Amino acid sequence: MAITPIPAFNDNYLWLLDNGVDAIVVDPGDAAPVDAYLKSNNLNLAAILITHHHGDHIGGVPRLKQMYGCRTYGPSNDSVNGLDYRLDQGDSITIEELGLSFQVIDVPGHTRGHIAYFMPESSLCTNGLFCGDTLFSGGCGRLFEGTPQQMWQSMQKILSLPENTKIYPAHEYTLSNLKFASEVEPQNQHLTHYIEKVKALRELNQPSLPSELSVEKQVNPFLRIREPSVISSAMHRVSRDTLSEPEVFAVIRQWKDSF
């Protein structure tokens, strides 16, 4: 099973999964690069998976559906029109053409109805999470509609997934996220090494993604809210002696917004 990031706009990745015959695309904000890839590789588009309603994630859906007659899956609680299947926490879907199954996880925060698709390990693939704009490598999405409490709870759901889960975010934000993470945890040696690795990839114009959950647990401050170093930075930021975990998350998120 091939999983390919198709670049779009300034920094989007439209993740395309294919078995050499049929394909799935996640969050196709632009139809043109997806159609070009499908045609150049002689692939049929079987399904579109949507994580949330923002235009850079759904803009290409109508055209692709018209061209390929593919099925569309997306969140029941987000403003996405024309879906064939509306999904909620705990739902499972199978794309028969590729033999792939996905478990739906509600991850509100970036938008109220944002969902992610967890692809369990099988003979065809490793564990994978297509998380839209909820989790990035080294960061998380801005809170356009949800609350810090909601996004913190969404992070807890992601933390419960297997350590070897590959993380497939929708944007190449890694270096800027890691710059901020280094402000939060300047002594984190895992961060130092990861930054060098990502810089080397980007200098070659290679994607920094996918990441892996085991790595994100070492470098991503939004998944490290329980770490003493992150708690200390948050308390220092707001001159407080105690903070709950959701409060630590809220402080770090607000800090990132103004970074």
Domain boundaries, the chain: 2-257
Beta partners for 237? none
Q: What is the pLDDT of residue 129?
A: 99
Q: How far is CA 91 from CA 78, 86, 157, in A?
A: 16, 10, 15
> How crowded is residue 191: how many other Cβ atoms within 10 Å of its Cβ?
21
Q: What is the pLDDT of residue 177?
A: 99
Pairing of strands 12-18, 22-26: antiparallel
Asked if 134 and 140 touch (Cβ cutoff 8 Å), the reply is yes
- Measured CA to CA, the distance from residue 181 to residue 167 in angstroms comes to 18
Q: What is the pLDDT of residue 250?
A: 98
**The pair of three-digit structure tokens given for residue 69, joined into one six-digit string:** 């007659």
> Annotated binding residues for Zn(2+), as ranges?
52, 54, 56-57, 110, 133, 171
Q: What is the pLDDT of residue 219?
A: 99
Q: What is the pLDDT of residue 26?
A: 99
> Annotated binding residues, as ranges?
52, 54, 56-57, 110, 133, 171
100-106, strands of its sheet edge to edge: 92-95, 100-106, 115-119, 128-132, 166-169, 211-212
44-49, strands of its sheet edge to edge: 2-8, 12-18, 22-26, 44-49, 71-75, 85-87
pTM: 0.98
Q: Which residues of the chain have pLDDT under 50?
A: none
**The pair of three-digit structure tokens given for residue 244, joined into one six-digit string:** 């709950």
Q: What is the CATH topology of the domain spanning 2-257?
A: Metallo-beta-lactamase; Chain A (3.60.15)
Classify residue 67 by burial, with Cβ atoms within 10 Å: 0-12, 13-18, 19+.
middle
Residue with tokens 């509100």: 108
